[in-house]
Amino acid sequence: MRLLLVEDNVPLADELIQGLQRQGYAVDWLADGRDALYQGSSEPYDLIVLDLGLPGVPGLEVLAQWRAGGLVTPVLILTARSSWAERIEGLKAGADDYLSKPFHPEELLLRIQSLLRRARGLANQPTLEAAGLHLDEGRQCVSRAGEDIQLTAAEFRLLRYFMLHPQQILSKSHLAEHLYNGETERDSNVLEVHVNHLRRKLGRSVIETHRGQGYRFGGVVE
């Protein structure tokens, strides 16, 4: 999953980026509201974490312009301010969730997981389950019938994206856009390798190849 973090506090941004990357997220970072206005509406992010006190353009205005332009990407607001009036203004502007500083990093991770599931219509599902598989995002492994199957970091990222989009045909270019940040070289051959590794661990039928279109997750686990 590819996230955009808009935060002008550099030490905090560094801490959040490291934590999010450890959890398998690809993260792009911006510190200015003017840059966020353009990049947030032009790149295919799965979720945006947005600070309010930004230079250039304030976070609330950035959010309002995104929503006015039709952006539907989930947005989680971070702010050092805690007044109810400001929270209400953020929700009115189109925020999906709100987190006041200081906060525990684990709370941010759980809120991100919840928003991503909600965006895919899985709000009532506390964990990711599909095709007979249960994904443990904390331990970055998957289980079947109570038996753990270990995953590499790359396999975990790919499987999580598949499980958030079951039964959908996803092209290699789409997967690359959502699994890597804007600075990472995207190689479709590498994706094929990871798909084949998942098939060996989970069963070949769980990920179908649709020639000329991409992959579909959700077959019968062998």
- At residue 132, the 3 state secondary structure works out as coil
Tokens 């840059």: give the residue. Answer: 35
Q: What string of DSSP letters covers 14-48?
A: HHHHHHHHHTT-EEEEE--HHHHHHHHHHS--SEE
Q: What is the DSSP letter of 220?
A: -
C-beta atoms surrounding 214 within 10 Å: 18
Q: Which fold has domain 128-217?
A: Arc Repressor Mutant, subunit A (1.10.10)
Residue 76 φ/ψ, nearest 5 degrees: -105, 120
Specify the CATH number of the domain 2-119.
Answer: 3.40.50.2300
- At residue 53, the 3 state secondary structure works out as coil
Beta bridge partners of 133: 130
- Distance CA(217)–CA(172), nearest Å, equals 13
- At residue 41, the 3 state secondary structure works out as helix
Give the predicted TM-score (pTM) of the model: 0.90
Q: Where in the chain is the domain with CATH 3.40.50.2300?
A: 2-119
Q: What is the pLDDT along the chain (222 residues), one digit of tens a residue?
A: 999 999 999 999 999 999 999 999 999 999 999 999 999 999 999 999 999 989 999 999 999 999 999 999 999 999 876 667 777 888 889 999 999 888 999 999 999 999 999 988 876 666 788 888 999 998 899 999 889 999 999 999 999 999 999 999 999 999 999 999 877 767 768 899 999 999 999 998 899 999 999 999 986 444
The residue count for the chain: 222
